[in-house]
Amino acid sequence: MKKLIDYVKKIGQTRLGFVLILLIIYWLKTLWAYYVDFNLDTQGFFQNFIAIMNPLPVGILLLGLSLYIKNTKAFYSVAMTIYIVLFAWLFSNAVYYREFSDYISISTMMATSSVSAGLGEAALKLFRLWDIVYFLDFIAFGFLVYRKAFHWDKTPFHKKSSFAITAFSVLLFSINLFLAEIDRPELLTRGFSNTYIVRALGLPAFLGYNANQTYNAHKDRSGATASDLEPVKQYITEHYAQPNDNYFGIAKGRNVIYLHLESLQQFVIDYKLNVNGVEYEVTPFLNSLYHSSSTLAFPNFFNQVKAGKTSDAETMIETSLFGLNQGSFMVQYGGSNTQQAAPYILSQNGGYTSAVFHGNAASFWNRNNTYKQWGYNYFFDQSYFSKATAENSFQYGLNDKIMFADSIQYLEHLQQPFYTKFITVSNHYPYTTSLIGDEIGFPLANTDDETINGYFATANYLDASIKAFFDYLKATGLYENSVIVLYGDHYGISNSRNPDLAPLIGKDSQTWSDFDNAMMQRVPYMIVVPGMTNGGIFDTYGGEIDALPTLEHLLGIKSDNYLQVGQDLLSSQHSQIVALRTAGSFITPKYTSYEGKIYYTETGLEITNPDEITQKEIDAIKEATAAQLATSDAIQTGDLIRFFDNGLPALDSSQYNYIDSLAAEIALENKLGTQSTSLYSKNGNKSTIELFKAPSYLELHGSTTATSTPNTGTSSTSTSSNSQ
């Protein structure tokens, strides 16, 4: 030990050695924070290797800058200052993460009042006994200085060597970024999650990334004025679709339950997979809903997402505004823009309580911040559910049956009427890692693409999960007093894989076209209103942008009071123009524009030489889609809702805190006493957890029917609640 100390002392007697020691200490502290304080959710050797590596490039770059300084006192002062700044950023994030499960952003630092309001007097309680580890080096350094055992190197470091160190740090960062892109393509353009950025590039790089995002958002926002609202309001007025009298208000006052069907496409509805001459119905329960007289079903409902994928779908469903042309709105603007989303609108029009249930990390797609701006009272993320294991989860979160089972204890304490959203994940690409054990049984398709082969099995698992939840709703009585909306967020099989899928859906791989790709953008959209008898299958062409106005009218709320660019799908005035996020792309009952080509929608034939009338019709549709997208973009990037006065009180996002939400629910129940409207209170203060049953595939079908090699990933096999 003495030899090691002497060796370290010897190294520390040179300027380069001093910087090296600071770098190593900073690196070790960062790894401590990564694996003790943060939840980076690293999986496998590759992600762990990147995480272990990423503190070094920026650390070398910044600490190496001090080596350019010749003056002795200035060198040591600058080196220590840089180190202290790096440490302060690391430690403050470690403490902040304990309360908010996120990292400090530029907007957080700018809004210091919000931060202090969030932490308050409880800040001291966030410190942990092991925090002493972060300060051991300062104690040691102070001791050395006190004992005058520290040697000050007065010899300047060579300039060329300093430059070489800088160049090396840049090279190392480039390698780091390259590896990060391999692990998560489009990491910086799509955003995904702050955790992904930190895990891949480190905390200092995250700060730079966030600063760039904040600058771009501020630039767009600062240039906007109240006068920019006028053309927006004019567009909203001119394009408002009056409600259908047959359906307006039929669900007024009911609970609203959104079921997010991850990656589910419309083609699986009523689809039977043929394996060795035997047909297997992929989504039997969803099919029964689709054909029910209590369901409003829309087979020509298209996803309208772009790079933001699921986050784009959520943005449209909740606000009737599009995501961005590049990146994710929720990531770039969701935590700062003024918004009037469904949860807040319903809280002001019917006193709704709102909650989201999702078995993944809260920070994914910046949900933990965006949901506050949308007015969600509660967000039950992965931290509220069963501990993720190889048996009950995979890389995108808890499997659906576990998520639903674990959600019951929180759902039953919500005050009614409530607006809730359950985000499923098991039917997520690559469709080969989410099912094991007793959940294996539904046959795999027989193509050369494993992704396609597994898609039908995970879709079947999702279907069974939804049925289990419906059974619970019926058993508790919630079903009759609710409206349940089911929607697919985006495609599950990508365009590049569609030719391999073609034979399974009666198409020819050789003649598969971009028109076929366009039609594959259909996703399920069904609104179940128990007790309704005039439901049916509606051929209206629409998309996710239309979901909120449709729901509002069913609840008896006129949507023309809000800045929403969608239209009620049940209205006879609906334009039936589906604008896709890629410029110039659209789908209507008559024409489809996709990948630069125009087709007749009814036949799929390409229009290569349109006559004058046809061209005018196509140009008019292009203008309509461009106007809709431009109006939405003006609202989103200019944060125009902050100038909009429609009588809705301003939302204060700082009042929302997603920590210890169950305690908050129970406290409210106790406060309301006999006035409490929660299911738990209505059930005589008895839990309904035992009423949720989610049998496995094996329990439902008795034996496996798989005809291909079983998947070897992870899956849920539990059928009852098992929460933390």
Average pLDDT of span 661-687: 97
Quick: pLDDT tens for 689-722. 999 999 999 999 976 554 433 333 333 333 333 3
Structure tokens at 413: 């304490």
Question: CA–CA separation, 40 vs 99, rounded Å?
Answer: 16
Per-residue pLDDT band for 668 (boundaries 50, 70, 90) equals very high
pLDDT attached to residue 433: 76
Quick: pLDDT tens for 171-206. 999 999 999 999 888 788 766 667 888 999 999 999
Lowest mean pLDDT among 78-82, 429-433, 475-479: 429-433
Rounded to 5, what percent of the chain is helix, strand, coil? 50, 10, 40
Q: What single DSSP character describes residue 522?
A: B
DSSP 568-587: -TT-TT----EE-SSTT-EE
CA distances 401 to 20, 450, 717, Å, are 50, 24, 8
pLDDT attached to residue 8: 60
Question: CA–CA separation, 490 vs 263, rounded Å?
Answer: 5
Q: What single DSSP character describes residue 67?
A: G
Residue of 118 and 368 predicted with greater confidence: 368
Whether residue 406 is predicted with pLDDT greater than 60 in this model: the reply is yes
For residue 310, say whether it is annotated as part of any ligand binding site. yes
Say whether 600 sits in a helix, a strand or coil: strand
Whether residue 110 is predicted with pLDDT greater than 80 in this model: the reply is no
The pLDDT > 70 percentage for the chain reads 91
Q: Is 178 exposed, middle or buried (0-12, 13-18, 19+ CB in 10 A)?
A: exposed
Per-residue pLDDT band for 638 (boundaries 50, 70, 90) equals very high
Whether residue 52 is predicted with pLDDT greater than 80 in this model: the reply is yes
**What is the value of pTM for the model shown?**
0.77
CA distances 9 to 4, 22, 362, Å, are 9, 13, 45
Q: CA-based Rg of the chain, rounded to a whole angstrom? A: 28
DSSP 352-375: -EEEEEESS-TTBTTHHHHHHHHT
Lowest mean pLDDT among 106-110, 397-401, 624-628: 106-110
Per-residue pLDDT band for 125 (boundaries 50, 70, 90) equals low
pLDDT attached to residue 281: 97
pLDDT attached to residue 712: 34
Say whether 538 sits in a helix, a strand or coil: coil
Quick: pLDDT tens for 351-401. 999 999 999 989 889 999 999 999 999 999 999 999 888 888 887 889 999
**Would you please indicate which residues are annotated as catalytic (active-site) residues?**
310
pLDDT attached to residue 464: 97
pLDDT attached to residue 39: 78
Average pLDDT of span 618-627: 96
Do strands 255-261 and 482-488 pair parallel, antiparallel, or not at all (unpaired)? Answer: parallel
Average pLDDT of span 36-42: 83
Whether residue 3 is predicted with pLDDT greater than 50 in this model: the reply is yes
Question: CA–CA separation, 594 vs 580, rounded Å?
Answer: 9
Q: What single DSSP character describes residue 71?
A: S
pLDDT attached to residue 545: 98
pLDDT attached to residue 186: 79
Question: CA–CA separation, 420 vs 677, rounded Å?
Answer: 15
Helix locations, 531-646, DSSP H: 547-554, 612-638
Question: CA–CA separation, 548 vs 569, rounded Å?
Answer: 10
Average pLDDT of span 62-80: 94
Per-residue pLDDT band for 113 (boundaries 50, 70, 90) equals very low
Query: Are 538 and 572 a contacting pair, CB within 8 Å?
Result: no
For residue 490, say whether it is annotated as part of any ligand binding site. yes
Say whether 500 sits in a helix, a strand or coil: helix
Quick: pLDDT tens for 520-558. 999 999 999 999 999 999 999 999 999 999 999 999 999
Taking each helix axis as running N to C, give the angle between helix 112-119 and helix 72-100, from 0 to 180 degrees, rounded to the nearest 10. 60
pLDDT attached to residue 5: 57
Mean pLDDT, the chain, rounded, equals 90
pLDDT attached to residue 722: 33
* 137-141, 357-361, 582-586, range with greatest mean pLDDT: 357-361
Whether residue 274 is predicted with pLDDT greater than 90 in this model: the reply is yes
Question: CA–CA separation, 358 vs 356, rounded Å?
Answer: 6
CA-closest candidate to residue 260, choices 303, 229, 306: 303
Per-residue pLDDT band for 277 (boundaries 50, 70, 90) equals very high
The pLDDT > 90 percentage for the chain reads 73
Give strand pairing partners of 708.
Answer: none
For residue 489, say whether it is annotated as part of any ligand binding site. yes
Residue 368, Ramachandran bin (φ over 0: left; ψ between -120 and 50: alpha; else beta) = alpha
- Domains of the chain, start order: 2-221 (no CATH), 230-262+302-701 (3.40.720.10)
pLDDT attached to residue 709: 37
